[in-house]
Amino acid sequence: MCRPGAGWHCEVMSLIEVTDLRKSYGGRPVVDGISLAVEEGEIFGVLGSNGAGKTTTVEHILGLRVPDSGTVRVCGLDPHVDRAKTTLIMGAQLQESEMQGKLTVAESLELFAACYPRAADWRVLAERLGLKEKLNTRFAQLSGGQKQRLAIALALVGNPRVVILDELTTGLDPAARREVWSLIEDVRASGVTILLVTHFMEEAQRLCDRLAIFDRGRVVALDTPSGLVAQSASGTVISFTPSRPLEEDELAALPGLASVTQHEGRITLGGTDETVNAVISLLARNGVSAHQLRVTDSTLDDAYLDLTGADA
Amino acid sequence: MSATSTPPVPSTDVTPRPGRAVLRAELILFFREPGSVFWVMAFPTLLLLILGFIPAMTEPKEEIGGLSTVEAYVPVAVLLSMIMAGLMAMPPVITGYRERGILRRMSTTPLRPSSVLGAQVGLHAAASLISAVLTLAVGRIFSGVALPSQIFGYLLTLLLSVVCVMALGSLISALSPNTKIAQAVSISVFFPAMLAAGVYMPIQQMPDLMASIVETLPFGAAAQALNQATAGDWPDWIHLGVLALWTLVLSGAAARWFRWE
């Protein structure tokens, strides 16, 4: 869906489309064949450790870099060539980028608002982002959380169709981080597509509809967070303390089993739904009761480590 | 995920004027740097004012061609303000913007980061030209120094000098990876520039060899041209040529080596 008056249409293609993007710095490939597509209305996450190529990919999407090979399209346009148009579609928050230290929140918002033909009313935006009390505070005097909220406001002030947030919550304390998360959910609820770059599993799991896991310049997995968890070897974790010890052979024979650990009489099994059912019937067959039986999903953390082999 | 729908923020429908908005923001920021405002706009005038209150400084001296020290120092004070603006005030601002990702941030908006640089150069140039007018006025009012007789020659020299000093400041900003280095480079160019402009000793008073060396430098050439225009002559083309050549080389180099991040 295109906004009226935008002047161009892109109803067929994805909002952002990256195809086989490659970029090397000093002979070292930083982005090594990345492909992904961000669809209208979703929160698309890019998850990976430092040096996985996340920021470089984002810089290409924003038109700040020229690819060695491959293509980047935003609304069907090349963001490096059609900069004048694509900068109207995208709002960005960049890693380690500030505003002029002595410019106030209001002045910063006013400056950015003046650049767009259909800018949002920055006073309303500031109020919604909890910056109303800080309008006359200079950038240098803001706390980390307030700076990030201003960064979101500046990314939104041009009424973009997609907002790119690069490591938005890095350096924030847990309370401020949660606050920013609910702001991001509000932004999406207002119909804006979000490309979220992060290295926090919890953040990706909570916010993203779909997630690309980057590792050494490649996409190693692309799915919904729950899909990624299910893809990993041990999607479900079963733990219990049996009323009497169980035969190790019997445990090892459980279907779908990925791991077994025993610690002070408590057994922890990694497996699938099938494993859960098999454990229950095993217990029933042997007349063993299970104390404190817990069945939990394995987290995105486990999936991430599985997929990137970072655990090894 | 979230089921609640947030009402859209109302939007305004006005013609975007990014260039004007940048200029406005940078103007506000310029006046929030009291150091820059003082050294560029007040210090050169104050210097002249103080000289004017010392009786010995207002008497004609043979070694400076029959001029009084105050008279000889009017063009020097004018150049001093330009040097302060272009070498001391501007480069740390621009390198700071690059260092802190401000130029990079601007690159992701319809705003051209070059408009930020343009605003910086324009504002610092304007500040030093206003300071020049102040200096001439203070010299005229408090010390009775006559206004330049060859006004067009004087104006042309002023414009060429200010463009040249801004090109030099831009080159320093281009070559310095961070604010600290920019300040160090600026300081090391600052003293020779002040010497050439005649801050320590007006060019009329310099030994011949020294004067002819200084004349090949932008501020030495500018000082000579301003002196000639003050006396009522059209400045020698060689001085204007030296200034123009420096401007060309410095701005070319600045454009060649400038990095946005």
B29 neighbourhood in chain A, CB within 8 Å: 100, 102-103
- Please give the average per-residue pLDDT across A153-170, as a whole number: 91
Q: Work out the percent of chain B whose per-residue pLDDT is above 70.
A: 97
pLDDT for residue A303 is more than 90: no
What is the side-by-side order of every strand in the sheet holding A218-223?
Answer: A90-93, A162-166, A193-198, A43-47, A210-215, A218-223
Rg, Å, chain B Cα set: 21
Its ipTM equals 0.86
Contact B101 A185 (CB under 8 A): no
Task: Answer whether A218's CB lies under 8 Å from A288's CB.
Answer: no
pLDDT at A237: 83
B22 neighbourhood in chain A, CB within 8 Å: 111
Q: Is the CB of B114 inside 8 Å of chain A's CB atoms? A: no
Q: Minimal Cα distance from A42: which residue of B?
A: B1
pLDDT at B8: 65
The string of DSSP letters for A105-168 reads HHHHHHHHHTT-TT-B-HHHHHHHTT-GGGTTSBGGGS-HHHHHHHHHHHHHTT--SEEEEEST
Interface residue of B108, B112, B117 to substitute, partner A, most A CBs within 10 Å: B108
Say which range, A7-21, A284-298, B66-80, B134-148, has the weakest mean pLDDT.
A7-21
Per the structure, the complete domain to which residue B250 belongs is given by 20-55+62-257
Closest residue to B101, CB basis, from A97, A113, A156: A97
In degrees, to the nearest 5, what angle opens at C-alpha A81 toward C-alphas A80 and A84?
90
pLDDT at A86: 94
Residue intervals in chain A for CATH 3.40.50.300: 16-223
Q: Is the CB of A136 inside 8 Å of chain B's CB atoms? A: no
**Domain tally for chain B?**
1
Phi-psi category of residue B66: left, alpha or beta, with phi > 0 → left and psi -120 to 50 → alpha = left
Write out the H or E segment, with its range, that includes residue B203: none
- Give the long-range contacts of residues A276-279, CB within 8 A, separation 24 or more: A276/A236, A276/A238, A278/A254, A279/A238, A279/A240, A279/A254
pLDDT for residue B38 is more than 60: yes
Closest residue to A64, CB basis, from B4, B25, B107: B107
Query: pLDDT per residue over A106-155, tens digit each?
Result: 999 999 999 999 899 999 989 988 899 999 999 999 998 899 889 989 99
Average pLDDT, chain B: 91
Q: Is the CB of B97 inside 8 Å of chain A's CB atoms? A: yes
Q: Work out the percent of chain A whose per-residue pLDDT is above 90.
A: 48
Closest residue to A118, CB basis, from B7, B11, B109: B11
* Paired tokens of B36: 């820059």
pLDDT at A1: 40
A119 neighbourhood in chain B, CB within 8 Å: 11-12, 14, 16
pLDDT at A6: 44
Q: Is the CB of B2 inside 8 Å of chain A's CB atoms? A: yes
B8 part of a folded domain: no
State how far the Cα of B226 lies from the Cα of B153, in Å rounded to an integer: 8
Query: pLDDT per residue over B112-153, tens digit each?
Result: 888 999 999 999 999 999 999 999 999 999 888 999 999 999
| Side-chain half-sphere CA neighbours of B231 within 13 A | 16
Contact A64 B108 (CB under 8 A): yes
Among 3.40.30.10, 3.30.1180.20, 1.10.8.420, 3.30.70.980, name the CATH number for the domain at A230-308: 3.30.70.980
A185 neighbourhood in chain B, CB within 8 Å: 1-2
B3 part of a folded domain: no
Cβ neighbours around B81 below 10 Å, total:
27
Say which range, A210-214, A242-246, B63-67, B130-134, has the weakest mean pLDDT.
B63-67
pLDDT at A118: 87
A116 neighbourhood in chain B, CB within 8 Å: 16, 109-110
Please name the residues between 208 and 267 in chain A that touch chain B, using a CB distance below 8 Å. Answer: 209
- C-alpha distance from A40 to closest chain B C-alpha (Å): 15
Question: What angle do helix axes B151-175 and B218-230 make, rounded to 10 degrees?
Answer: 170
Q: Is the CB of A61 inside 8 Å of chain B's CB atoms? A: no
- Please give the average per-residue pLDDT across A213-220, as a whole number: 93
* Paired tokens of B227: 């002196």
Nearest to B167 by CA among B92, B241, B76, B249: B249
Number of A/B CB contacts below 8 angstroms equals 115
Please name the residues between 277 and 306 in chain A that touch chain B, using a CB distance below 8 Å. Answer: none
Task: Answer whether A79's CB lies under 8 Å from A67's CB.
Answer: no
pLDDT for residue A11 is more than 70: no
Contact B102 A94 (CB under 8 A): no
Among 3.40.190.10, 3.40.50.300, 1.10.620.20, 3.60.15.10, name the CATH number for the domain at A16-223: 3.40.50.300
pLDDT at A311: 45
Interface residue of A83, A90, A116, A139 to substitute, partner B, most B CBs within 10 Å: A116
Confidence of residue A312 (pLDDT cuts 50, 70, 90): very low
Confidence of residue A310 (pLDDT cuts 50, 70, 90): low
B217 part of a folded domain: yes
B83 part of a folded domain: yes
- C-alpha distance from A199 to closest chain B C-alpha (Å): 21
Closest residue to A119, CB basis, from B11, B32, B105: B11
Q: Is the CB of A176 inside 8 Å of chain B's CB atoms? A: no
Of A195-209, A258-272, B241-255, which has the strongest mean pLDDT? B241-255
Task: Answer whether A102's CB lies under 8 Å from A139's CB.
Answer: yes
pLDDT at B161: 97
Confidence of residue B230 (pLDDT cuts 50, 70, 90): very high
- C-alpha distance from B97 to closest chain A C-alpha (Å): 7
Q: Minimal Cα distance from B103: which residue of A?
A: A97
Q: Is the CB of A1 inside 8 Å of chain B's CB atoms? A: no
Cβ neighbours around B52 below 10 Å, total:
21
- Mapped onto helix, strand or coil, the DSSP state of residue B62 is helix
State how far the Cα of A234 lies from the Cα of A225, in Å rounded to an integer: 14
Cβ neighbours around B38 below 10 Å, total:
12
State how far the Cα of A161 lies from the Cα of A2, in Å rounded to an integer: 9
Contact A189 B33 (CB under 8 A): no
Q: Is the dihedral of CA A214, A220, A222, A225 positive or negative?
A: negative
- At a CB cut-off of 8 Å and minimum separation 6, what does A57 contact? A18, A21, A31, A34, A46, A214
Query: pLDDT per residue over B162-214, tens digit each?
Result: 999 999 999 999 999 999 999 999 999 999 999 999 989 898 889 999 999 99
